[in-house]
Structure 1
């Protein structure tokens, strides 16, 4: 439905371009949502887009630019006249402009654009770029409102009317002292409902939730979620206000972190972007697959160590896939629970011991359920109570151990200050395959004379 609407919009734009009807284009196109405008423009031909750059001012195009992903932004700027591009980037919020500049591969191109921008806007971008990646400073915006405690509500309302449209959010007003240090915060609602002669110091809150500029972006996202904020102020070591991180920035952070974690858990880190070619994706995935292949050789070696057991009772081989799959699936489930708990902070509230007890208990209960099902099923199908008992005990112990390992491994990795998602599904699966087979064949070998 949405694509049909975009296709219709695209036809309209192409008709206006063909007829050189700039007036109708501007009257209609500028009323559309910036995301719809972006969707239309990305599907136009190069020559058609170049005409649009003439019909739209840099300020008007800046809203569209901010809706684009980096690849579209990069190629769009390459198509533009450099002066037009610089003027357009002046209108883009500092954090979005910094995110764009941070990804430009050519340093000379980056410097050329920055030098052509307004010095004040370029300085904001350079400041954000100076912070380490994935920190509060690197994702903050410089467009915010700061006021003083000795101002009245009337003063602030006048100030808002003059400058409010130039900032990213006006829901929070940050109170600073003469040195620029953050001393309080007041919401727009408090400003509106209070008497216009009231002093800001009388209505502001001095209990301000703030993030230091070097705080990890995931912690900033967690802070905004925990305190249900629309924005959080960013301060330096001296407690000077240097920027704010808004909830839309946090949504981008969560998307990036989720993509990264999916890549880690699926052993496809760096290759989840659908814009990559088959060769690029293969180059990124191949090292993981080769590594997992060598780990798989360990699994094969475990089976080889019990060759005599398998030769004696060939029927035991039927249950190898069952043991391996159950162990891998159980470990991956525990891994997902722990990684999510670490990411959301719920793990910190519950503690290590409670988390491990719960996962071990879950593994034990699932093991018991599966053991009972297998005792009944295997006894009926193969008419061998002893074989059923071996498989049932093996699955019980395997699931119990697999759940515990799936929980403890990411915790150990996290303690080493490594992303716990690195303990990815394939690695957990391989490790639990080895342990599961070892348990199964050890029990089978011990009772082989009774089979």
Structure 2
């Protein structure tokens, strides 16, 4: 990875030198020889004054490829497009794949969107406008309207001619979708099947009519799971009448998986980890609300501890094990939380009472093992088996409760229709602090007479 980064920096410097020295032809040739991903990275990293030269030299098709490969979450792609005159920017959007153009336009204010769409041909503008209107993080917002579709009464040679004709416009050509006379999706043919069967064979003979498709309103995470399960390179999107609206390609699914992973990790960490290049001010502003909320919950824990001052004064040794129990219980709760969120994310069939009882058993096993370990340690360390027993029992119960909380809270949040990842690790940890302190001191009260003065 470091070698690739260094090579990219060298490429950027080399191309920048070509532009600065006026070697336009050499720049165009060198730039167009790069991989599409590298072209996008190089263009975005060029100084603004050099980009102003570059977009004048590069063809619209090359610029469209550049913007197709820029990530709106990592690059200020709107600013890059606005560096060009609106007419040229509209041409770039027109040549981009419709789903990528829609993603870019969604990052813009409405006034600017209207400007670019008004400069595009009506058919292309309508395609992009339809995609913009789909809710974010749904299949409709991911799909591309550039796909290969043929009628079911054709022969293989006719389909191959159509494939060659449409291939330049399609985002993916792994599958050819077959439509019936009502324009409904009736089947799919792989490119391999077309290449390995006689030209005069009717495509209906090799059409796979067992279609796995999704609806435009389906959640993107569910779509990603289907594609992963079936190892598809693309998946069709249909309306309620089974009419083909578009296709979602595997590159978009990879992006979705990355987004969902970032979202889940952000929830578990209680901080948005997608904005890694934020300014210190914005980064701090995003973290403060959660920290204040956790601080208030932590104050409840501190208040609870202070309510047991008399107990601690009777046996000061109890104070030594507060952080041990709260920390271990918090870790157990976070582990259970991570497993629960993952089960929900992948749509695990192991849910309901079976998983609930499984978590109870797992919590008991972990709690007993940890409680037994801390009993032995404290009994040997402090030469007091009763104290060890009290700490061990408290540890066991605290871990069981934390384990159940880590499992139940994200499940309940999911049932309520919210993202279970909002049950963040810091929240579960702080909640476990509260419950484990309550458990610890109540258990200690049962044994207080045995270690007063310890």
Q: TM-score range by the shorter chain?
A: over 0.9
- Which residue is 1:388 aligned to? 388
- 1:92 and 2:96 correspond: yes
Mapped to 2, the partners of 1:425 and 1:243 lie a distance apart of 39
- 1:78 and 2:77 correspond: no
CA contact (8 A) 1:330 1:402 kept: yes
The one of 16, 19, 25 aligned to 2:18: 16
- 1:114 and 2:112 correspond: no
CA contact (8 A) 1:149 1:175 kept: yes
- State the secondary structure of the residue aligned to 1:388: helix
Mapped to 1, the partners of 2:125 and 2:277 lie a distance apart of 30
Mapped to 2, the partners of 1:391 and 1:81 lie a distance apart of 71
CA contact (8 A) 1:58 1:85 kept: no
| Structure 1 residue 40, shift from structure 2 partner | 2.1
Pairing 1:253-272 to 2, within 5 Å after superposition = 253-269=256-272, 272=274
- Which residue is 1:2 aligned to? 4
Mapped to 2, the partners of 1:400 and 1:7 lie a distance apart of 52
| Structure 1 residue 409, shift from structure 2 partner | 1.2
Mapped to 2, the partners of 1:19 and 1:427 lie a distance apart of 57
- Which residue is 1:232 aligned to? 235
Question: Deviation string for 1:112-145 (max 9, x for gaps)?
Answer: 0111122221111101111111111111110101
The one of 145, 150, 157 aligned to 2:148: 145
Structure 2 alignment gaps of length 5 or more: none
- 1:177 and 2:189 correspond: no
Mapped to 2, the partners of 1:272 and 1:244 lie a distance apart of 27
CA contact (8 A) 1:59 1:87 kept: no
CA contact (8 A) 2:234 2:250 kept: yes
| Structure 1 residue 8, shift from structure 2 partner | 1.9
Mapped to 1, the partners of 2:115 and 2:199 lie a distance apart of 47
Question: Deviation string for 1:192-224 (max 9, x for gaps)?
Answer: 111111111111011100001111111111111
Mapped to 1, the partners of 2:325 and 2:141 lie a distance apart of 47
- 1:435 and 2:435 correspond: yes
- 1:360 and 2:364 correspond: no
- State the secondary structure of the residue aligned to 1:108: helix
Mapped to 2, the partners of 1:239 and 1:398 lie a distance apart of 53
TM-score, structure 2 normalization = 0.96
| Structure 1 residue 48, shift from structure 2 partner | 0.8
CA contact (8 A) 2:40 2:66 kept: yes
- State the secondary structure of the residue aligned to 1:372: helix
Mapped to 2, the partners of 1:372 and 1:130 lie a distance apart of 59
Mapped to 1, the partners of 2:41 and 2:135 lie a distance apart of 32
CA contact (8 A) 2:294 2:426 kept: yes
Question: Which moved further from structure 2: 301-310 or 136-145?
Answer: 301-310
Question: Deviation string for 1:348-398 (max 9, x for gaps)?
Answer: x11222222222222211222212221221112111111111001111111
- 1:408 and 2:408 correspond: yes
- Which residue is 1:102 aligned to? 106
- State the secondary structure of the residue aligned to 1:206: coil
The one of 286, 293, 296 aligned to 2:295: 293
- Which residue is 1:156 aligned to? 159
Mapped to 2, the partners of 1:211 and 1:43 lie a distance apart of 38
| Structure 1 residue 53, shift from structure 2 partner | 0.9
Mapped to 2, the partners of 1:128 and 1:382 lie a distance apart of 68
Mapped to 2, the partners of 1:145 and 1:195 lie a distance apart of 20
- Which residue is 2:344 aligned to? 342
| Structure 1 residue 434, shift from structure 2 partner | 1.2
- 1:322 and 2:324 correspond: yes
- Which residue is 1:37 aligned to? 39
CA contact (8 A) 2:15 2:30 kept: no
How many correspondences in the alignment? 447
| Structure 1 residue 432, shift from structure 2 partner | 1.4
| Structure 1 residue 15, shift from structure 2 partner | 2.4
CA contact (8 A) 1:332 1:428 kept: yes
- State the secondary structure of the residue aligned to 1:103: coil
Mapped to 1, the partners of 2:16 and 2:239 lie a distance apart of 50
Mapped to 1, the partners of 2:206 and 2:46 lie a distance apart of 52
Mapped to 1, the partners of 2:80 and 2:44 lie a distance apart of 9
- State the secondary structure of the residue aligned to 1:447: helix
Structure 1 alignment gaps of length 5 or more: none
Mapped to 2, the partners of 1:19 and 1:266 lie a distance apart of 48
- 1:190 and 2:174 correspond: no
CA contact (8 A) 1:174 1:184 kept: yes
CA contact (8 A) 2:237 2:245 kept: yes
TM-score, structure 1 normalization = 0.96
- State the secondary structure of the residue aligned to 2:140: helix
Mapped to 2, the partners of 1:57 and 1:64 lie a distance apart of 11
